[in-house]
Structure 1
């Protein structure tokens, strides 16, 4: 009987060695984690395609000419692409590439955020132009969606500037970086949630203003908006879940983290 117990202990010990990677994370869990990462990207891309098809095929298309409908349509697509999809990916990159040199991950993180800021700025231009060029001009920042949206973009811009200055260039002292990190993480997640809320309120506002709920012939478009909203809600939930998994934090910083960017 003792021999069988010893054999079982050896067997489970060997299984534990096989099933754990070099940094102590179970391989099965690692596979699950990257499955969820892949799933989040599929869900997000499908939602973006739906938004693109809705505004490109059914709601007038995109453009910057005299057709103000096309000018406005740049707003929902670019804001969604920048403030939800790319921003979600930007806050996830540290967990997706835990063994890549942190400097490169920082650059990727900052680049995705910069792209988010550029796309969002162009998206804001679309909605302001469509309002200001209308005859008569339409009012700006008069709805809950617009208030949440402008607050979100403003906070996002401040967060990007503070993060770039603190962690990338010129890069502040290690003590300041460590002290600021909890604040940086908190606002990163908070702004992402704000962006999702802005997207959801934007869907409802657009459907109400365009009377999509009053016309039975537009039911398919209403459903497409609802499906896109659910998909982005799933996307955001997965992102929040993945960045909250402490088992997938980066290993302790190496020497590269403490070198100035200019070296």
Structure 2
């Protein structure tokens, strides 16, 4: 009886099940990745055109300084962050060390670009005598950014420059993956809150939503 029960969970059977289950997913993975890149680039381009063409362009002084903020946050905390999450699936056959470095570099690029975006919006608010941290978008965005920095630093300490034991790393890995995906969702949500807020402040009382203004669409 025990032998029969063991045969049901034998590693070879688990491997066969995993292979049969994941093979179709792996075959279609390139299409999903390509689709994500198209959508990601489209988000960055649309945000860039919106701020650059419809909202007065880009500058580091004056009213156009604010426009740097949405573009940087979408580029950093949505597009590059999303790509950093994908590298472990896209480059699953490469050496783990190389993928770790790429993962960390993409996060670092996202961090630097996001800092530029935050500096731009705080400078703009200071110059225009606008209060800081006054909206739901402000608090959600700042919470997301702080947690993103903490997640990146913990990832460096646990995995890229590992000071922790193998047992501790294996314990933290599921948490790192979970909070990485959660923070990506929070980044997208914060960006959507910010875009909605900017539209309402810019267009409310000027153009009705049901007129299908290009910026609303």
TM-score (norm 1): 0.71
The higher relative CO (CA closer than 8 Å, separation ≥ 6) is in 1
Change (3 A) 1:29 1:180: closer
SS at match of 1:172: coil
Partner of 1:98: 92
Give the aligned length: 197
- Across the aligned residues of Structure 1 and Structure 2, the Cα RMSD in angstroms comes to 1.8
Partner of 2:156: 164
Q: CA separation in 2, counterparts of 1:213 and 1:161?
A: 44
Instruction: Note the C-alpha offset of 1:33.
Output: 1.3
Alignment check: 8 A CA contact 1:81 1:119 kept:
yes
Residue 108 (structure 1) aligned to one of 102, 106, 110 = 102
SS at match of 2:215: helix
Residue 154 (structure 1) aligned to one of 127, 146, 169 = 146
Q: Which runs of 5+ in 2 are unaligned?
A: 1-17
TM-score (norm 2): 0.86
Instruction: Note the C-alpha offset of 1:32.
Output: 1.1
Instruction: Note the C-alpha offset of 1:211.
Output: 2.2
Alignment check: 8 A CA contact 2:81 2:110 kept:
yes
Q: CA separation in 1, counterparts of 2:123 and 2:91?
A: 40
- Bigger radius of gyration among the two: 1
**Residues 32-52 of structure 1: per-residue CA shift (max 9 Å, x gap):** 111011011001101111110
**Residues 160-184 of structure 1: per-residue CA shift (max 9 Å, x gap):** 0011011011442211110111111
1:51-66 matched pairs, under 5 angstroms: 51-65=47-61
Following TM superposition, the consecutive aligned residue runs of length 4 or more in structure 1 with deviations greater than 2 angstroms are: 23-31, 211-214
Change (3 A) 1:109 1:219: same
SS at match of 1:221: coil
Alignment check: 8 A CA contact 2:43 2:74 kept:
no
Alignment check: 8 A CA contact 1:213 1:222 kept:
no
Q: Which runs of 5+ in 1 are unaligned?
A: 1-22, 224-263
Instruction: Note the C-alpha offset of 1:63.
Output: 1.5
Partner of 1:234: none
Q: CA separation in 2, counterparts of 1:159 and 1:62?
A: 31
